[in-house]
Amino acid sequence: MSGFILAIDQGTTSSRAILFDGDMKVVGSGQKEFTQHYPASGWVEHDPEEIWSSVVATAKAALKRAGRDASDVAAIGITNQRETVVIWDRATGRPIHNAIVWQDRRTAPLCQKLKKQGLEKKFTRKTGLLLDPYFSGTKIAWMLDKVKGARKRAENGELLAGTVDSFLIWRLTGGKVHATDATNASRTLVYNIEKNAWDDELLAILGIPGRMLPQVKDCADDYGITEKSLFGAEIKILGVAGDQHAATIGQACFEPGMMKSTYGTGCFALLNTGSDLVRSKNRLLTTIAYRLNGKTTYALEGSIFIAGAAVQWLRDGIKVIGKAEHSGVLAASADPTQEVYLVPAFVGLGAPHWDAQARGAIFGLTRNSGPAEFARAALESVAFQTRDLLDAMRRDWKGASAKTVLRVDGGMVASDWTMQRLADILDAPVDRPTILETTALGAAWLAGSKAGVWPETREFARSWALERRFRPDMDASVRSAKLAGWRHAVRRTLSTL
């Protein structure tokens, strides 16, 4: 059997497909951006049909650029933007509404209502999550309530719901398979992560018929076979994981205490806690890191909504840089005597604050503040937020020792200045791997290992290679002063003041 593996990486702003060979090297890729829809303040939607067409187009492009066809591919692995959710017609496969994106805040009133009813502890105990618009469950409830006739049709078994991976699997298999993996299920707000099953009580609270939801499988499992008409030959789908979980796998964080952080639109840090389901006392999320061969590995997760998006704001919002990659160079030229802080709560604050109503703010401006200080403040905000997560993880779990090394990936990690500042603020080493396509690599490994053409866990972990380690090089007093300034700025930004 051929060792080629096709990874479908369906992200927030674009869909990508990457073809890996038997040596886990990239031999072809395709990428296609799609439209972001903002129908109201705080609302974010995607057209599922546009997502679908972009996935098919990029998969074909990756094969073509590699000079291969579908018959050369042993398996497909899928990774996806996690909490974004779709409801579609079981008979036609057509969505009944645009996908509601993970960034969307429209269900904040419902979350607040449930909190006032004293239900957050129940949801957290069962799912490891908090009552926040970020997660999929309240989005499904909103569509059932707002789309005419949707609830009755769902109760009659006419509608299906799922995260983007489920929608893609349904389409790829011609409607033969309605499935998801344990990591995506764990982000829905209705999946019991201890029992590894949909939770009937939580479904009833949100008014979601359980028959809408997909079968939950291991991350490396049989997800059916693609329709021959799509790519010219049938291909097995053998791996699925949400994007942050796939990156954890791609970074080979298989041992308890290992930690990775992905710096894309947002920042998502996962700390492997092994079989230990750690219930956070510091408003972190407890989630399923991955499930392999029926064995569940758990993680603590910190979710930061704005990371690379802060750099996009510099470029597109206030136009102080022409290209994103210029931000590090500009930040390096900032006046060291000015302490400017950006709290990038453009869509609220994530962990450990979870304040949906907070909004962005800048502190410490003087007449001499300019583009360089804004750039430094934007990049430092990512480092400060990561430090907040690491501190919370250390308070929650003894395995998050002071010796924790952070493995990083995502678009921002290409900036040496940003990674050095991250190490300085964390007071911990930051490791940048040689392969930055860790999310796609993780999805590919799930499929490749299941197909028997890629190495098993230990050998795969040994293949992880370091490109550069950034070691902290900031005076402790300077770090302490910066952190105090940051925490003061956050307190002044929280909506609860």
Binding-site residue ranges for ADP: 12, 16, 265, 308, 411
Angstrom distances, CA of residue 188 to CA of 265, 269, 287, 492:
20, 18, 11, 31
Dist. CA 288–CA 183, nearest whole Å = 5
Task: Give the integer Cα–Cα distance in Å for 211 and 224.
Answer: 20
* DSSP assignment letter at 13: S
Q: Dig out the tokens for 188 from the structure.
A: 């829905």
Helices of type H across 96-192: 108-116, 120-127, 136-146, 150-155, 164-172, 182-185
Q: Across the strands, what pairs with 432?
A: 468
Helix (H) or strand (E) holding 309, with range, is helix 308-312
What does DSSP say about strands 191-192 and 197-198: parallel, antiparallel, or unpaired? Answer: antiparallel
What distance lies between CA 292 and its chain's CA centroid? 19
Rounded (10°) angle between helices 136-146 and 108-116? 110
Burial 47-79 (b: 16+ CB within 10 A, else e): bbebbbebbbebbbbbbeebebebebbbbbbbb
Instruction: Say if residues 213 and 200 touch (Cβ distance below 8 Å).
Output: no
Residue spans of beta strands (DSSP E) within 178-320? 179-181, 191-192, 197-198, 215-217, 237-242, 259-263, 267-274, 285-292, 295-304
Query: What is the token pair recorded at 481?
Result: 């002063």
Query: Which residues define the annotated binding site for sn-glycerol 3-phosphate?
Result: 12, 82-83, 134, 243
Residue 314 DSSP code = I
Q: Which residues are annotated as a binding site for glycerol?
A: 82-83, 134, 243-244
Annotated binding site: 12-14, 16, 82-83, 134, 243-244, 265, 308, 312, 411
Taking alpha carbons only, the member of 294, 274, 113, 278 closest to residue 206 is: 113
Annotated binding site for ATP: 12-14, 265, 308, 312, 411
- The angle, 0 to 180 degrees and rounded to 10, between the axes of the packed helices 438-451 and 243-250 is 80
Q: Rounded CA gap, 134 and 348, in Å?
A: 10
